[in-house]
Structure 1
Amino acid sequence: MKKLLLLLLLLGTLSATAQLNDTFADGNFTQNPAWTGDAAAFQVNAALQLQTNGAATTGTELQLITPCAAATGTTWEFWANLKLATSSGNYADVWLMADQPDLKASGTKGYFVRLGGTPDEVALFRKDATGSPVYVVNGQDATLSSTNNNLVRVRVTRSVQNVWTLERDLTGNATYVSEGSATDATHQRSGYVGVYATYSAANNRAFYFDDFRVTDATAPLLMQAVATAPRQLTLTFNEAVAATQSAASYRLSTGNPAVTAAARDAADFTLVHLTLAADLPLGSLTVEVRNVTDAFGNVAAGTLTATLQNNGFAVPPGLNQLLITEIMADETPVMGLPTSEFVEIHNPSATAVIDLGGVRLLKPGNTGNPAVFPSGAVLLPGEYAVVCGSTRTAQFAAFGKVFGLTNFPSLSNAADQLVLRGKDGRVLFEVSYADTWYKDNRKKEGGWTLEMLDTANPCAGIENWTASTDASGGTPDRSNSVRATNPDRTAPALLRALALNATTVRLYFGEKLDSVAVANAALYTLAPAATILRAVPVGPDFRLVDLTLAAPLVQNQPFTLTAQRALDCVGNASGPATSATFALPAPVAVGDVVINEILFNPRMGGVDFVEILNRSGKFLDVQGWQLGNEKPDSSVDTEPVSSGPVLLPPGGLLALTTRPDIVQQQYPTSTESAHLLQLPALPTFPDDAGSVVLFDAQGRRLDRFVYSDKQHLKLLDNVEGVSLERIRATGPSEAGNFHSAASSVGYATPGRPNSQQQPDVTGTGVLMLEPEIFTPDDDGQQDFTTLDYQLDGPGYAGSVTIYDAQGRLARRLVRNETLAAKGFWQWDGLTDRGQKASVGYYVLHIELFRPSSGQKREYRKTVVVGARQ
């Protein structure tokens, strides 16, 4: 056998270099090369063959390995004799490629030839990190069928095209018979070759191996080139290359920039890193390689080339460096775009390539997994891309770049919030849209996208978005149809401050802030003086800033918070100072807060609202309060006012509604947006009559008002969109203390003082009439008169009858009404027939009767019904 091997060596290709050659002719396996593993269980016998000599124990596993990096363009040869009957427990594996020096480990990857096993075969297998070995070439069964002499010589070749050929000679010579060929490129790197044997007790010395030879006679091939930095290229070869690399062997086909250094990777010998003298140019580039040598001395003839597309070195985006510029939330009816929700993203930079890998698209508050952009995804300078669900990608393929993401969020038609977060969790972009942003009642019904006007003003809301004007309904993957210059020149306003607890104060601003600039605690001061330890902007929209105080606040003690030069996210400064008053809230008591205004019959497209008034001297927190509708059966449907803290200062107003944007749109000149509080839902308030109830967090009823459309001014032709307003803050929550809002303010004052409010009368006397001249025209100026009474105690009944100057009956205003000690009546200038009283003098005849004593009093007051010229 040794002579045969010598002959084979002489006949081998002269240029072939053996990477491993061991005949054990030196009588050992510990050097030239060194085999390691279960060394005590192997020996080199008298015939100079490697033989097992392990424990005579069934199930024993033995291994020996030696380093070898040959992987492609390689031939492996070895001789073996299994002097036993092979079976599932008696076989040998000769590993041609292994990635780690432990053939017994389940995670070892590579290729091996199995001798024996249940099929008694010679077969080539691939082993992955998980799972059982799989066939590459399935050899003929019963090839090794002897019970005591299974002699075989094996040759395996792997071409540079990853074609494997398995051959064997059952005489142990070199007249090979093919077992088959197959292509497999799964594993490209190797660290070791080795032998593995498992046996039953009687076969512990029955495995013989010899004549190992691994030959790589092929030059390396260049597989790919990748730009990993502006001045860095990484080249991948099909096999390990020589440790020493020369920069002179590498160049770009254009000649520039020059390669200044070339180095083989310290861990992966198939990689070479090139350093360039200048930044890579954009576009298609070709790398040329000459005279490169593999780890075994084979030199590539001619020039090797690889082409790459350099779109620039992708960088992770920062705040507002990746934008959502178009939103399709309601895709039906179809105007011309696919029937699918989508958003459009945009890279506003003229030079930077954005790395989207790991960027997340999500809706805050959703409990499911976010949509995540895949590794390697990029957005070129100025480029747009459609983002949609993973099953909708094909629908948008014709438009340009598309990212179909798993877990793409469902977009609400009416209103929603979308956030882009970097893979490090930082907020990149946030938008909270609503269907009012369309500014077109027809388009908001579906089929049209919302488009951003000015990408240089990314923090703006409704003022920088509108409905697409493109005939197809939108402009996915291209500039928006409404694109225009629309800069933000408005400084950020501090709307309010709120003590979340004794040591935390939250500031609410009117627009998105520069989260870095406003995180400076030195920008904020308190009066009376208190130390502020830190300031933390609250994402994802950065309209809030939380301040941490060094000492706890005292309940109901007012403080004034001043913010110096707050910056919005485009750099507008608030000026020298902007301030707000707050206090740590005190407990609420029954009567502290009353229902101040209610809109129960809104205009077409409008929504209800209920306004509450804090008529106490305390700072109150409405968190946990409930707003309800009491039904005729006395059951109450309630909805939460706020799940989070909301401060209601002394004299403060809050208008509660589901759509502050719609309320503000329908009452643009009489709404105070800072005093509108959005609720997820309102109780259902009937358009004709109902009862609104307010409860505190403990379920105590704070106030109740029974309303009816009959309480509106009879002169109004249409009461849709007209609210009922409280007249006097301290008065009762009864019909007589409410009046239709004035026409001069648009028929409602959500978040603002009521148009029909009157101050409480503080004078003395039994009866006071104010004003003595009034004009019932619903213009908000002396629309009605009030008759206040101050009695010496309870127990009176009262009647009020109104006569004109000729003594004719005009109105029976009050009939035998039980009276409190103090109160008032209002006359809206209408007669009993519901007609406006004629201009002139009128006499109010007041009768007071005390049944307990029989005491009766009569009074007369004169009033003038006027008219404006």
Structure 2
Amino acid sequence: MKQTLPEGLIYKVKAILSSIEWFASRLVPTPVIRRGLGGGLILLLLPLLSLGQLNESFSDGDFTQSPTWSGDANSFMVNAIGQLQSNGPAVTGATIQLATPSQAAVGVVWEFWANLRLATSSGNYTDVWLIANSEDLKNSSTSGYFVRIGGTADEVSLFRKDAGKGPVYVINGQDKTIASSNNNLVRVRVTRSINHEWELSIDLSGTGDNFVSQGTATDANYKTSAYVGVLLRYTSANSKNFYFDDFLITDTQPLVLQDAQPLNAQELELRFSKPLLQTEAEREENYTLNGSIKPIAAELTAPGTVQLRFTQNFKTGANTIAVANLVDVYENALAEPKELTFTYTPPAVLPNYNELLISEIMADEAPAVGLPAQEYIELYNRTEKVLTLKGIRYSDATSTTTLPDVQLLPKEYAVVVPNTQVQNFTKYGKVIGISNFPSLNNSGELLQLRQPNGKLIYAVNYADTWYKDNSKREGGWSLEMIDINNACGGIENWTASVNPQGGTPAQANSVSAANPDNTPVILVDITAIAPDKVLLRFNERLDSVQAANISKYTISGSIAVTNAQVQGPLFTEVILTLATPLQERQLYTLTAQSIADCAGNLSSQPLTATFALPSVPEPGDVVINEILFNPRPNGVDFVELVNRSDKYINLQNWQLANTSGDTISNSRSITVINYVLAPGQYVVLTSNPENIKTNYPAAKQETFLRMSSLPSYSDDAGTVVVLQPDKRIADRFSYTSDMHFELLDDVNGVSLERIRLEGPSIANNFHSAASAVLATPGYRNSQLQEGVMAQRMFQVSPQVFSPDGDGTDDFTTINYSTDKSGFVANITIFDTQGREVRKLARNELLASNGFFQWDGLRQDGTKAAIGYYLLYIELFGLNGEKSVHKEKVVVGGKL
């Protein structure tokens, strides 16, 4: 005889069978399930229920164990047919709860049966919590998701509850589905995918055969759980009218590695879709970084979170973490070994010295070649660090601006332009706009980058000679650094861009190539800038720490060095402080040993140089020794000075000028740095040393001193003025083109040379350079004549000369010496026939000693014939006395 089961138990069996069928349908083909739910098949599928996180039918009659429900235990009971039934105090507004642990949160199906044998209202409803972070479901700070059955709308809906806030709808179920006054039977199913897609379905028959969707939604606010449970609110008459059964939580989704986030340079946090089995989660061998690197520790820091720690830093940029053999707490494994790429960006830091470079300079933007007609600089991060530019001070020689809060990734370029030009440069790469963009000098200047506290980051003192291409230096082409790993390089590591557009802003430079510095440093010069201070200048940047070691320097005369200060920002100069003051007109020798440059190259041999303490100059100490005022076509002028004193004289802040009428004008600075002339030393002043060297190959290039420009010196006539720093005239020479030897066919490119070093700077003491050399920049004048001390009042030297321009005895001099002042002389030249050849001097006032020059030319400018000539000299005194002197001279030549 068939036994009839109670209604609730019938629902329970049907629910179990429905859940098994639903679960099995996801594991085996549907036709297999649909063959029938005979006992054999049920027995086959029942073990699969062990995969569920919760399977609670209350069949054991006890909700306090297996699993343990806690909370208001005295307010619930398991009734005779195995259902959880409310049994709370009959008090209106009472709230009772039960909760049991559950970590199911993502990729989960929740199902349960309920019957509210009452009329639901705002005071009679139940919240079935699917996900809760606390077992105290009454606490307003508890957060998660719950299904509400009842309420004023008599509905079944899914809500989200945020801590401290009221619930909000996730899925608003159909109103009036729970509208019975005494029998609201419902089976609820909620699914959540690994992509956080929710669906709420209800079956009002309670069997699980007729589920109807109440809607779908996406919500990812809470991805972990600690508890599930029920929360009831009722009036006094309904304290025993809530029934629950068949709580089934199933989790059959494969475990998914969702995210990898670096916590710092060596720690990585992995986040999974579900809670992990601890034993496998903490096996270091289950993780591999970048193909081969294993962590030294793996720690399960949260149910679905693993923290890995490595002994080496992550790569900046893309990294790969591989994970294998992990399972969740419900024994769902990773579908297969999983790889995930994550990006590591180190914290941004301020750059230190030579870590942030100026790698390109557009100083002269016009005429534009292909880029926007705008000056710019390019920055380059040569490190593996992320650099912040916030507060960095960028300056040129006259102004400073501050860079904005921008980050540069390792090996990244960025172009810096005025704010108004940003849009014009975005297509080239990263652009940084700034206000008050410092204008760049076409000819060159010092550019610096400094930290907000003033600490030097980088400095470059570019010049237009760095283009190494005269056409490109005229505009439209940028200067590019050749080797960005040779940060200390100067002219040898910069050149004009070869990109057809004229530059490569925010991109790798077009001239990029290996160009390492493998040469040791050279001591260029040394200057005593005070009796107790000496300035050393080197050809390249030094290792500033090593160069500050005083033990590396010794000075002759047992003069001790007490301090060595390397001068920024270029670190090419060192100031030594001496224990004993130097003496004027005394030569010293400095020796520097084991000096390293910025690249680490060490001088293998001691560096030596001689120097002296400069003296205060007097007018006439340094004089004009040679001038080229009428250069060849495409040539340039030069002025040569010579120190004819026994002093060491510093030319710093001296000036070269010309005259306008009787006024000195157009002054040009000779040099703003120390430049000491030793006794007898020459210096050649020109705007283009390369041009002078090309036109005069014998020129001594080491004597050249480049000036940005010389005052204008006319080809016809002009005046050269040399000014000391105190504005006194050191020397002055007025020239005309008529001073050139008249027999020269072409005077272009021929200089005028001083004849007597000690003589005055007057026309009579200058002569055209020998035709064989045309000019002698930087070395002994071709027409130099040593001073002749007349043994008598007049003396001719040489007595035989050949005015052929070969540089040997091209003229003769009539030297004189008097013991009185005020003599006036007439000099007339006659040939052997007594015919007048030339009036050499007329009413010339004589100094105490000096000379007259005869170049062998007749009065009409023709060359005198070879032979003897008489110099007829008339001398007149202040008191009317007169004397006559006769000297012989021979004009020689090739027959």
Residue in 2 that maps onto 1:275: 309
- Give the equivalent residue in structure 2 for 1:710: 738
Deviations 1:509-563 (A, max 9, x none): 3444444443332222111111112323323333322112123334554322222
Aligned residues: 676
Q: CA RMSD in A?
A: 5.4
Give the partner amino acid of 1:847. Answer: E
TM-score, structure 1 length as denominator? 0.63
CA distance in 2, matches of 1:684, 1:571: 45
Residue 732 of structure 1, CA deviation: 0.9
> Is 2:593 the partner of 1:564?
yes
Give the distance between the partners of 2:562 and 2:306, measured in 1 at CA.
52
Q: Per the alignment, do residues 308 and 567 of structure 1 end up closer, same or farther by CA in structure 2, a change over 3 Å counting?
A: same
Cα distance between partner residues in 2 of 1:602 and 1:333: 30
Matches within 5 A, 1:571-650: 576-601=605-630, 608-634=637-663, 636-643=665-672, 645-650=674-679
Q: Report the AA paired with residue 850 of structure 1.
A: G
> Counterpart of 2:236?
none
The one of 10, 13, 17 equivalent to 2:133 is 17
Partner of 2:721: 693
Deviation at 1:781, TM superposition (A): 4.2
| Partner Cα separation in structure 1 for residue 800 and residue 94 of structure 2 | 132
For residues 271 and 822 of structure 1, the distance between their equivalents in structure 2, rounded to whole angstroms, comes to: 104
Deviation at 1:564, TM superposition (A): 3.0
Letter in 2 for 1:259: P
Rounded Cα–Cα distance in structure 1 between residues aligned with 2:804 and 2:305: 88
How far does the alpha carbon of each residue in 1:268-322 deviate from its partner, in whole angstroms, 9 at most, with x for none?
A: xx99974215554676334589999xxxx9xx99999974345999998777676
Task: State yes or no: 1:308 paired with 2:336.
Answer: no
1:3 is matched with which residue: 60, 80, 93? Answer: 93
Q: Distance in 2 between matches of 1:247 and 1:810?
A: 117
1:434 Cα deviation after fit: 3.4
Which residues of structure 2 form unaligned runs of 5+?
1-90, 98-122, 143-159, 168-193, 196-218, 222-254
Note if contact 1:314-1:378 (Cα within 8 Å) is conserved in structure 2.
no
Aligned to 1:124: none
* Per-residue deviation, residues 127-183 of structure 1 (Å, max 9, x unmatched): xxxxxxxxxxxxxxxxxxxxxxxxxxxxxxxxx99xxxxxxxxxxxxxxxxxxxxx9
Report whether the alignment pairs 1:832 with 2:838: no
The answer to whether residue 533 in structure 2 is matched with residue 504 in structure 1 is yes
Change beyond 3 A, Cα 1:77–1:399: closer
Q: Name the aligned partner's letter for residue 736 of structure 1.
A: N
Q: Is the 8 A contact 2:358 2:378 kept in 1?
A: yes
Moved more, 579-588 or 360-369: 360-369
SS in 1 for 2:397: coil
Per the alignment, residue 544 of structure 1 pairs with 573
2:375 counterpart of 1:341 = yes
Q: After superposition, where does 1:473-484 map in structure 2 within 5 Å?
A: 473-474=502-503
CA-CA distance at 1:21 after TM superposition: 8.9
Q: What is the aligned partner in structure 2 of residue 357 from structure 1?
A: 388
Q: Say if 1:602 and 1:346 are closer, same or farther in 2 by CA, change over 3 A.
A: farther
For 2:93, what is the secondary structure of its paired residue? helix
Partner residue of 2:699? Answer: 670
Q: Specify the alignment match of 2:762 in structure 1.
A: 734
Any conservation in 2 of the 1:602–1:608 contact (CA below 8 Å)? Answer: yes
The reply on whether 1:412 has 2:444 as its aligned counterpart is no
The 3-state SS of whatever aligns with 1:528 is coil
> Cα distance 1:838–1:353, how it changes in 2: closer, same or farther (>3 A)?
farther
Decide whether the 8 Å contact of 2:350 with 2:389 is kept in 1: no
**What amino acid is aligned across from residue 560 of structure 2 in structure 1?**
T
Distance in 2 of aligned mates of 1:274 and 1:506: 57
The match for 2:162 among 75, 82, 85 is 75
Contact 2:396/2:445, CA 8 A, preserved across alignment:
no
Q: 1:13 Cα shift?
A: 1.9
1:796 to 823, 826, 830: 823
Structure 1 CA distance, aligned partners of 2:626 and 2:380? 45
Whether 1:787 aligns to 2:814 is yes
The 8 Å contact of residues 562 and 578 in structure 2, kept in 1 or not, is answered as yes
Letter in 1 for 2:93: K
What is the CA-CA distance between 1:3 and the residue it aligns to? 3.5
Deviation at residue 505 of structure 1 after TM alignment: 0.6
Report whether the alignment pairs 1:377 with 2:409.
yes
Q: Deviations over 1:370-420 (max 9, x none)?
A: 65783343316xxx6655555545545555566556665433223334456
2: distance between equivalents of 1:323 and 1:413? Answer: 20
Q: Distance in 2 between matches of 1:642 and 1:806?
A: 57
Aligned to 2:400: 368
| Structure-2 residue corresponding to 1:849 | 876
Give the letter aligned to residue 388 of structure 2: G
Residues 447-458 of structure 1 aligned to structure 2 (within 5 Å):
447-451=476-480
Q: Does 1:259 align with 2:279?
A: no
Q: Name the counterpart of 1:758.
A: 785
**Is the CA contact 2:448–2:460 (under 8 Å) kept in the aligned structure 1?**
yes
CA distance in 2, matches of 1:271, 1:860: 116
Distance, in Å, in 1 between the alignment partners of 2:858 and 2:782 is 23
Partner of 2:846: 819
**Correspondent of 1:329 among 359, 363, 366:** 363
Would you say the 8 A contact 1:607–1:658 is kept in 2? yes
Say which SS state the counterpart of residue 817 (structure 1) adopts: strand
For residue 589 of structure 1, give the secondary structure of its aligned residue in structure 2: coil
Shift of residue 859, structure 1, vs aligned partner: 1.8
Alignment-derived partner of residue 70 in structure 1: none
Q: Which residue of 2 aligns with 1:212?
A: none
Residue of structure 1 equivalent to 2:319: 285
| Aligned partners of 1:567 and 1:574 also within 8 Å | yes
Using a 3 Å threshold, how does the CA distance of structure 1 residues 830 and 314 change in structure 2: closer, same or farther? farther
Q: Deviations over 1:594-634 (max 9, x none)?
A: 33334445566665554433322223344454444332143
- Structure 2 residue 888 is the aligned partner of structure 1 residue 861: yes
- How far the C-alpha of 1:822 sits from its partner, in A, is 0.3
Secondary structure of the residue aligned to 2:388 is: coil
Unaligned runs of 5+ in 1: 25-31, 34-72, 80-95, 97-159, 162-182, 186-218
What's the offset of the Cα at 1:765? 2.8
CA distance in 2, matches of 1:854, 1:781: 38
Contact 1:845 / 1:859 at 8 angstroms: preserved in 2? yes
Residues 868 and 888 in structure 2, CA contact (< 8 A), matched pair in contact too: no
CA contact (8 A) 1:620 1:649 kept: yes
Contact 2:790 2:816 (8 Å CA) reproduced: no
2:838 is matched by which residue type in structure 1?
A: R
Contact 2:537 2:572 in 1 (8 A): yes
Change (3 A) 1:457 1:845: farther
SS in 2 for 1:560: strand
